[in-house]
Structure 1
Amino acid sequence: MNNGLKRKANALNDVEHRATEDGSGYLSCSPELPCEGQRGDVGRVYMNPSATLPVEVAATTTLPTKTHDGTSAAPLQPPKGKRGRRSASSSSRTSSTSSRGRPKKPPATSTPSIPWPEPFKLLAQTHRALNLVYTFCSARKHFATTFDNIKAAAEAQTGGRKLSVEDAARVKVLIPRSVRFESVDKGVVDLVGVNEAKGTGKIWRDLEIEGMGHDAEASEGLNPDGGGDVLIFEFVDGDLKKDPQQNSSRRRSKTDDIRVPVYSQKHMVTLIEKRNKKFSDAVDAFLAKCQDEDVDPVEKLEADKDMYVPVLHRSGANNLAAMRLPAQIPKERATIAEIIASIREMEWYTDQIVPDGHRVFDPQPAVYGDLTFAISQSLVNALYNTRGITQFYSHQAEAINNLHDGHNVIVSTSTSSGKSLIYQVPMLHELEQDPRSRGMYIFPTKALAQDQRRSLKELLGYIEGLEHLLVETFDGDTPMADRNVIREEARIIFTNPDMLHITILPQESSWRTFLKNLKYVVVDELHVYNGLFGSHVAFIMRRLRRICAAVGNRHIRFISCSATVANPEEHMKTIFGIDDVRLTDIDGSPSGRKEFICWNTPFRDPGDPSSGRGNSIQESSRLFCQLILRGVRVIAFCRIRKQCELLLAAVRDELKSLDRINVSRFVMGYRGGYSPQDRRKIERDMFEGKLLGIVATNALELGVDIGSLDAVITHGFPYSISNLRQQSGRAGRRNKDSVSILVGDSYATDQYYMRNPDELFTKPNCELQVDLRNELVLEGHVQCAAFEMPIKPDEDTEYFGPQLHDFACTRLTKDSLGFYHCHERFRPHPSKCVAIRVTENNHYAIIDTTNNRNAVIEEIEESRVIFSIYEGGIFFHQGHPYMVKELNTDKRFARVIRVHVDWTTQQRDITDIDPIETEAIRRISSTANTKAFFGAIKIRAIVYGYFKLDKKGRILDAVALDNPPIEILSKGMWLDVPKKALDILKARNLNAAAAIHAAEHAILSLMPTYIISSPGDVRTECKVAVKELGPKHQQAMNQTRSQNVKPPPIPARQRPARLTFYDAKGGSSGSGIAAKAFEFVDSLLRRALGRIEACQCTSPQGCIECVCDERCKEMNVVMSKAGAGVVLKCLLGIEVDVEALPWGEDVLGDRGVASDVASIQEGKELAGGLETIVEAMEVSARPGARARIYGVEGVVEG
């Protein structure tokens, strides 16, 4: 490959000469050049040597180039001839201002004030050579730009002058943030280089399979062929974009031959010139700094270059990060302040800590309190022997005293403040007084229940007379043979709402002794019971109180613990249906010094927002490794499972680059899907100090005790401020100093909080809401209650509300004595007909077949399989890549094999949310004749292929799949966007999909103010950037508008102009929340519009205060605040001031999705033009049925 590049040197030199010195503006590539244009092997597309394309640089921005002596050369000029004249005329028309009145930026200029010494002139030539060769080579995504691979071609560009490693290091001295120059494992490079040398261009044909003849675990971290390290040279400040002419507007069929992208020659030259300009500016800045400091620039350059010279065969010794780390992980770490200061000194630190984003909270001393009653000496001894407790914190004493006085208690204090003691001490005190007493501890997860059971058994072991009392878990994993013993003998059971609903309450006669002696009911993590799930649990608690009252037990005391929320007292009253609740929310526990940091992912090209944000996974992995290698115990939270696995893999890569791969065995992942046994082992290992760090989803938010932690890294904003505070509270459990770091991703919500970090500390927690008026939920639990014990409406209204009389008469069965019983359609087991959670019974087993291991490594829900398991795809488990070899949908399993790859896969899917039957119609505006509809909704998803992506997210290949669609039915409401709104959007070139998406979010965010619900209970169809933005034919559409050119074909996949909202829970019958929203649709629309108009944000895409949603699965990319206003006004019949609307961008979408997102970050309005949205057709009622029609005032019209 090295010799091949030597042969290309002269051709490359010719290209550079004509592109940067001749000024003709044309690029011409020989067949040997790694340019792309004609069809060839995937990843190896070559250009006809006679083909030329004009580079119309002058029509956009004039970029001067510097000659080797530091003087300015003439800028690139447009080519002469027919195409050049057209560009020139276009340029002259827009030279001062555009047709929209937007002024153009003046041409960039650069005039050095200090003459360049000769070594710097030579170094500029070296940089230009490396820049040119690298840019052309990077067009081949499978080509590894090792120093040896590009050395010969770069030497040819400098007239044969030898290129040394020191030369590349000198370049990095001047532009350290724009160049990657380091040694890496040769095995990884071979993976993408060897097959390319064979000419296949297909990296997946000859995969290196782990475990071929040796133990899989033994190969961890080793080079597969033992070949040592190689030097990689890369520019990291930009990437090539696809040629817009390559893309077809039609959607390809599954059988189409799919090509990887063709790269624009125009963009190649622009990128080359941009880098040359940046290097020249860096030289000027370096010389000016040396002059100010009165040092010789050549000597300083020579001295600094030594820090950047990589050292082969010691991957960690090649960078400053490794040099500055302790040789061994210290047993006693430095302070957090010292560690953060050290990280700030790293070469890769580029002011990622945002302004006003570093807060320090002083340590708080403990505040103690006294009990108003005496506890036994045995209990005192147990507390001291197990936990070293000699005094109660003030909040513990206050809550225990209130319980002793007969009140119900809710404790809302920080994580790790000792809340569990509040419900353990009263129960143990009660058992000492009366051994027949019973206690029921309810936890939302089995892990929490097991954790608390171990803790309580330890205490009982030190209390005389209680050592042998049975305390046991009672959940779905409890063997049937043990259940009778537990029911009869256990004094305390650890269970969950599901077992209470399905097993305990329906069998009240068997549990009568237990319920009659029940003294305390503990519901931990009360904030979990919110929205629809909270409504179910609230009725379960009322059923429990009703049965206990019937057996003579009206003196149960309820204890709840919760994270810090806005309305804990009201929430507990709602859940249990009680009035006497005492709140304890003043925390008396001590806390160490705490730091909170907002860490923003830097731009790919520092200082250039148009380049877009870099890799947030890399930022989090760097921080993670820097912390654990300095003795800090860390947990990193991710929003979704795939992020968790990718971050875990990135941590291993980072440790490898630091020559500390041996540390990777002390880092584990923790998420849903892992087996219970694996999760319990990880919890134990972390608690016992065997692990240095965990990368987890929010599965670890709920208080599972994993020991003391020093740092929390939250990768991406975790959907709500309450979640963020809950995660942050995980750090600092040893009363030592701690740190919580929020790493901002590129998405709108993340960047909003990066710009406004103060809101993370001042914004109130969200209120918890539970709807007891939801008729679907109410009926299910009334049927269950009637089965457990006949209903007496006059008496049971206390538990089920005044509507119980109507329910009893119309939906229950009345006997001759006037009692009401469960309806036959719910028998024989009504509790099994009422699902209190959205759970899936069907799971797929993932079987690891590496070295014939045949072991189940995890189980995945059926709904996730289509999006994560497909033949040929890469599946991650504990951060290790596995290739899917077989997917068996009949027997629900997949076979995978461990592989060494540095690419991942991303599914290509289509999800459509469409109404199929109209059940009700509500008029919104009589003047505009607009309507809202309610009825049956069908959600249809299909994965038709997948992309293979490299570490930079670039497409290596596209593979077609033949999967059947998945269809789900629900209930929902929808609003068809009036044609008038679409016409206005088109006239102003505003993106219709973005307008609809933003309007949906604005309405969705206000639903909880009308209907008690929680985020996620109602969902909408979020618009996907890759389908709505580039790479499309926006540029052709703009030319069509101005030059009367025949328009390109209309996209095959078009979506109706419709705002759709559906119930995420409740199955085909829905949860009832969307039906409630339908009742208030007019008010919802008006408040959504008012919120948009009142918001002071200046971003065209809006913010989370108006149209962005923190839970948007597409991360609020395709959004238009102005467009949303147009849609809402037209639905309400309000006149739109068209002249006051902004214009969509003239040209957007020709540079690919990444550039479109970058343009969003620059504050540009998304362009219209691509007709992915069409006018919606009204959906009819079910055959033989008639939709109910409501007037503007809610009056039934028909």
Structure 2
Amino acid sequence: MTSPATVTPGPAPDPAGLLRRWRAGGQLPRQGPDAVTHVERLPARDGVSVPWPDWVPDQLRAALAARGVDRPWQHQAYAAELARAGRHVVVATGTGSGKSLAYLLPALATLLADPRATVLYLAPTKALAADQLRTVAGLGLDGVRPACYDGDTPQSERAWIRQHARFVLTNPDMLHRGILPGHNGWSQFLRRLTYVIVDECHSYRGVFGSHVAHVLRRLRRQTERYGRVRQQAGVPAARRGGVDGRTGAAGRAGVDGRAGPTFVLASATSGAPEQSAGQLTGLPVTAVTEDGAPRGAVTFALWEPPLLPGARADTEDLTPARRSALRESADLLADAVSAGVRTLAFVRSRRGAEVVATTARRALDEAVPGLGARVAAYRAGFLAEERRALERSLASGELLGMATTNALELGVDLVGLDAVLICGYPGTRASLWQQAGRAGRAGREALAVLIARDDPLDTYLVHHPEAVFGRPVEATVLDPTNPYVLGPQLCCAAAEGALTSADVELFGGAVVKQTLDELVAAGLLRRRPTGWYWTAAGRPDVDLRGEGGAPVQVVEEATGRLLGTVDPGSSHFLVHPGAVYLHQGVSYVVDDLDLADAYALVHAEEPDWSTHAREVTSLSVVSVREYRDAGPVGLFVGDVDVTSQIVSYQRRRIGSGEVLDTRPLDLPARQLRTVAVWFTASPAALAAAGIDPADVPGALHAAEHAAIGLLPLVATCDRWDIGGLSTASHADTEAPTVFVYDGHPGGAGFAERAYRAARTWLGATRDLIAACGCETGCPSCVQSPKCGNGNNPLGKADAVRVLDVVLTNLPQTSADQPSDPG
């Protein structure tokens, strides 16, 4: 919640000077060429403030002034006016621009004016909701009564919150599992619900976003059921017109005439925010994108770790060609902390965050005993009390450095950070800028460094800065019509109250009617003249995040102590028998994984090796949705069945990456019906391009790996959201084929985006492989850490020839234009 009074810089370290020192050699424990491939300087920007809207109560103005907020920024006031007029609005401005004030102004003003009104706040993470609770409670406003209602809320407090809290902060998971199924107990709150705040709404993408879209529709359904056609108590009708003269009552009616709460959404800068917010809520949404907040200057560097002397990257054991991005990040974090620069290091995985924090602590303690205590790891899976303690320590300055997963990417107020290290491209430009924006939030000079992993996409980006700095942020991808989302969500809605014909339109129209017929045929719903009824005694068990069941608890066998949790979808990879599991710098080895009862038993051990699971996959085509016939080349998108199984794991020496051995695993196979994009090329065309038939498998395999790595360039996905398969002759296509599929049941919209922008996607893939300086393939171009075949066979040069054949024949579409990258 920034304001003109909170951005005056005070004495601080010089982050840009730290980068200059690193480039000159500094104190980093290595020598070699400059690792920086590009430096982008983002200039400081002045803010534009405006007077308070006249409807803001004096009590609220005084409370904000006491916290240094003397006047709102222009975008804050404009968005607040829209919401006050009953217009659904999304504020899509930069990190640190004070989006929270844009939604707090109308929400808190209404709570102060109408003692019966209520407000619901939704955040994607518990940490963000807890942070917002501190903000609202800290204002000390009489009668607002804010409270968090999530999985960490004691049972003894929940009844009081349901009956008395007026500003409830929660997350979509609790709304789905704890509030809507028990809506009778929330009837008073729902009847008086005035605003629904959806924070960090750009994070609701893919399958998770599609589920949340239906949870919000279920919420709208219940607020209508409890029948409060809301008006703003105590505000004369003549003053409810807002910025365009619409009345409050009219503005609060949805496009279908249903009355309900006003939705105010906050998003990182993203493409087409009004479209994404409209998909999420099912309502017409106005976007506010002009950022009126000031911004300190940012130095943004792209950093490629150096090649390892004498390392070979063209072997089956995936020996790294470059210094590990984790080790590079740990060294930079340690050096920044030793210089007094408050730094956050974002790391892609839980284990990676632990490795970076542990390595940095060791380096600092060797230099100055005890200094390592000022660095910690932060990630999902920690217990609630651990997370809160770490947040407090970082905010107070007790911790100078922290290695975190994206759990701290969203919204938590971290004013005072000087630098951000981003260990590996986070998958989307939206996340990249969100993470980079965590530094300099007090208006100070800031440093952001993207440290490339030995990975095709990272390698491409650090050598193509225009793909980072010269393109707009992607649009959020979600698909509420996904049958694996729509069917279960309709069951949830029916369990909360019989579905009616009016609900068919609310949840999506014709596709909903068809899905309801299928649910009736399957015996899940019963059709009666008054609607569709849930048939079972219990509630539907639906996981919003697509993780397939309860979290797997990680338990220390000797003591019975719960260390943390792992989502079930990752358990086969992270806590299989023999896996190394890290928790707050302490290393454990997994003794047993019980999938039925969802627990893993571990013992403390400090091995000198890490573990890497290996997976095998088969795929069959179910149906083709669309295709392009391009002579010897075909491009398709459709439904596929994927069978995958973790069959073994490698133990690799820490530091060198040397493979010690491969050990078998006996884990169950997993089935997935999803959406894929695939291309075929005729054997004759490949032969004409100079590819020997015996080399086709390696050529396709290499092209597949690189294509998976580059897909996040055109779709809002992560390479771990997608999978692939290639074959010299697939049974269903009868041709050499490369498949890339969404790793979520029913698909998440990524394959469709790849199909639309195929030339952009495959062209970048071809250019990356051709430009890589290795001889036969390396992790920077065609090797993959996920490969179940040990990266064998791979044909780097032939992969370029395959892609040349595809690109020569495949016509360009409008989605391939540079103006539409996301």
- TM-score, normalising length from structure 1? 0.55
The alpha-carbon distance between structure 1 residues 905 and 981, as it changes in their structure 2 partners (threshold 3 A), is: farther
Residue 443 of structure 1 is matched in structure 2 by 123
Q: Structure 1 residue 606: deviation in Å?
A: 11
Partner of 2:289: 585
| Equivalent residue, structure 2, for 1:1020 | 723
Relative distance call for 1:951 and 1:1108 in structure 2 (3 A) is closer
2:18 match: 339
Residues 894 and 388 of structure 1: is their aligned pair in 2 closer, same or farther, counting only changes over 3 Å? same
Structure 1 residue 437: deviation in Å?
A: 0.4
Counterparts of 1:186-225 in structure 2, within 5 Å, are none
Which sits farther off after the overlay, 514-523 or 593-602? Answer: 593-602
| Aligned match of 2:265 | 560
Q: 1:1022, CA displacement in angstroms? A: 6.3
Q: Does 1:421 align with 2:95?
A: no
The structural deviation recorded for 1:709 is 0.6
The answer (yes or no) to whether the contact 1:638–1:715 under 8 Å persists in 2 is yes
The residue aligned with 1:489 is 164
Higher relative contact order structure (alpha carbons within 8 Å, sequence separation ≥ 6)? 2
2:641 is the alignment partner of 1:897: no
Provide the rounded CA distance (Å) in 2 between the counterparts of 1:504 and 1:665: 41
* Aligned twin of 2:344: 635
CA distance in 2, matches of 1:940, 1:800: 35
Q: Secondary structure at the match of 2:417?
A: coil
Q: Relative to structure 1, is the Cα distance of residues 586 and 1123 closer, same or farther in structure 2, using a 3 angstrom cutoff?
A: same
Residue 430 of structure 1 corresponds to 110
Distance change in 2, residues 1:1023/1:687 (3 Å): farther
Q: TM-score, normalised by structure 2?
A: 0.79
Pick aligned residue for 1:764 from 472, 479, 482: 472
Q: How many residues get paired? A: 739
SS in 2 for 1:845: strand
What's the CA shift string for 1:650-678, capped at 9, x where partnerless?
Answer: 21343245x22321011001122322221
Change (3 A) 1:403 1:589: same
Shift of 1:782: 3.2
Asked if structure 1 preserves the Cα contact closer than 8 Å seen for 2:297 and 2:445, the reply is yes
1:455, 1:1096 → 2: CA distance?
Answer: 49
Aligned 8 A contact 1:996 1:1058 in 2: no
Q: How does 1:71-110 map to 2 (within 5 A)?
A: none
Query: Aligned to 2:669, what secondary structure does the other structure show?
Result: strand
1:705-754 Cα offsets, whole Å, 9 max, x none, are: 34421000111222222221111000002222110111223322222222
Q: 1: CA distance between counterparts of 2:683 and 2:644?
A: 25
C-alpha offsets along residues 196-222 of structure 1, whole Å, 9 cap, x if unaligned? xxxxxxxxxxxxxxxxxxxxxxxxxxx
Higher strand share: 2
Q: Distance in 1 between matches of 2:59 and 2:766?
A: 62
CA distance in 2, matches of 1:929, 1:426: 56
Offset, 1:983? 6.5
- In structure 1, the residue matched to 2:34 is 352
Which whole-Å CA distance do the structure 2 matches of 1:1093 and 1:1014 have between them? 18
Contact 1:532 1:1014 in 2 (8 A): no
Task: Give the distance between the partners of 2:766 and 2:726, measured in 1 at CA.
Answer: 24
Matched residue SS, 1:440: strand
Q: Are the equivalent residues in 1 in contact too, given 2:362–2:372 (CA < 8 A)?
A: no
Cα distance in 1 between the residues matched to 2:498 and 2:560: 53
Determine if contact 2:345/2:423 at 8 Å carries over to the other structure: yes
Aligned partners of 2:90 and 2:36: how far apart in 1?
A: 37
Match of 1:963 in 2: 665
Deviation at 1:990, TM superposition (A): 4.4
Cα distance change on mapping 1:839 and 1:473 into 2, 3 Å? farther
| Identical amino acids, percent of aligned pairs | 26
* CA gap 1:989/1:916 in 2 versus in 1, 3 angstroms: closer
Distance change in 2, residues 1:519/1:970 (3 Å):
same
1:617 maps to which of 308, 312, 326: 326
Shift of 1:767: 1.1
Change (3 A) 1:725 1:935: closer
Distance 1:734 1:1023, change over 3 A: farther
Cα distance per residue 1:1111-1155 (max 9 Å; x no partner): 975599857475376489699999xxxxxxxxxxxxxxxxxxxxx
Distance in structure 2 (CA, Å) of the matches to 1:718 and 1:392: 32
Q: Superposition pairs for residues 1101-1120 of structure 1, below 5 Å?
A: 1114=786, 1120=796
Could you list the per-position Cα deviations for residues 70-117 of structure 1 after superposition, in whole angstroms to 9, with x for gaps in the alignment? xxxxxxxxxxxxxxxxxxxxxxxxxxxxxxxxxxxxxxxxxxxxxxxx
Give the distance between the partners of 2:721 and 2:21, measured in 1 at CA: 46
- Given that 2:208 and 2:544 are in contact with CA atoms closer than 8 Å, whether structure 1 keeps it comes out as no
Deviation at 1:609, TM superposition (A): 11
Q: Distance in 1 between matches of 2:460 and 2:203?
A: 26
- Which residues of 2 match residues 935-946 of structure 1 at below 5 A? 936-943=641-648, 946=650
User: 1:277: which partner in 2?
Assistant: none
| Larger mean Cα displacement after TM superposition, 767-776 or 411-420 | 767-776
CA distance in 2, matches of 1:991, 1:1101: 21
Rounded Cα–Cα distance in structure 1 between residues aligned with 2:471 and 2:324: 28
CA distance in 2, matches of 1:607, 1:530: 39
Match of 2:216 in 1: 541
Distance in 1, matches of 2:444 and 2:759, equals 48
- Secondary structure at the aligned position of 2:449 is classed as strand
Instruction: Return the offset for 1:561.
Output: 0.5
Change (3 A) 1:815 1:457: same
Distance 1:917 1:927 in 2: 21
**Distance (Å, rounded) in 2 between the aligned partners of 1:335 and 1:912:** 49
Is it true that 1:820 corresponds to 2:531 in the alignment? yes
How far does residue 413 in structure 1 lie from its aligned partner after superposition? 1.5
Structure 1 pair 1022–645 and aligned structure 2 pair: CA distance change class (3 A) = farther
Shift of residue 898 of structure 1? 4.8
Q: What is the DSSP-based 3-state SS (H/G/I as helix, E as strand, rest coil) of the residue aligned with 1:587?
A: coil
Superposition deviation, residue 595 in structure 1: 1.0
Q: Which amino acid aligns with 2:189?
A: F
Structure 2 counterpart of 1:963, one-letter code: L
Q: Distance in 1 between matches of 2:156 and 2:601?
A: 33
AA at the equivalent of 1:841: A
Structure 1 position 607, deviation (Å): 14
TM-aligned CA distance change 1:977 to 1:890, over 3 Å: same
Counting only pairs closer than 5 Å after superposition, residues 676-825 of structure 1 correspond to structure 2 as 676-793=384-501, 796-807=504-515, 811-812=519-520, 818-824=529-535
Q: State the Cα RMSD in Å.
A: 4.3
Contact 1:1101 1:1119 in 2 (8 A): no
Q: State the one-letter code of the partner of 1:629.
A: S
Check 1:541–1:475 CA distance in 2 against 1; reply closer, same or farther (3 A cut).
same
Would you say the 8 A contact 1:532–1:1013 is kept in 2? no
Unaligned runs of 5+ in 1: 1-330, 1029-1055, 1135-1198
- Are the aligned partners of 2:711 and 2:761 in contact in 1 as well (CA < 8 Å)? no
Counterparts of 1:133-212 in structure 2 under 5 Å?
none
**Partner amino acid for 1:594?**
V
Q: Is the 8 A contact 2:83 2:89 kept in 1?
A: yes
Q: Which moved more, 1:395-404 or 1:982-991?
A: 982-991
AA at the equivalent of 2:417: L
For residues 796-1195 of structure 1, what are the structure 2 equivalents within 5 Å?
A: 796-807=504-515, 811-812=519-520, 818-824=529-535, 827-829=536-538, 831-833=540-542, 835=544, 837-847=546-556, 855-862=561-568, 864-869=570-575, 874-882=580-588, 892-899=599-606, 903-907=608-612, 909-915=613-619, 936-943=641-648, 946-955=650-659, 957-958=660-661, 961=663, 963-972=665-674, 987=692, 990=695, 992-999=697-704, 1002=707, 1019-1021=722-724, 1059-1066=738-745, 1070-1071=746-747, 1084=755, 1088=758, 1092=762, 1097=767, 1099-1100=769-770, 1114=786, 1120=796, 1122-1123=798-799, 1126=802
Amino acid at match of 1:641: R
Superposed CA deviations along residues 136-170 of structure 1, whole A, max 9, x for unmatched, are xxxxxxxxxxxxxxxxxxxxxxxxxxxxxxxxxxx
> How much has 1:1003 moved relative to structure 2?
8.8
| Counterparts of 1:927 and 1:758, CA distance in 2 | 33
1:372 aligns with 2:58: no
Distance 2:193 2:43 in 1: 43
Alignment-mate amino acid for residue 394 of structure 1: Q
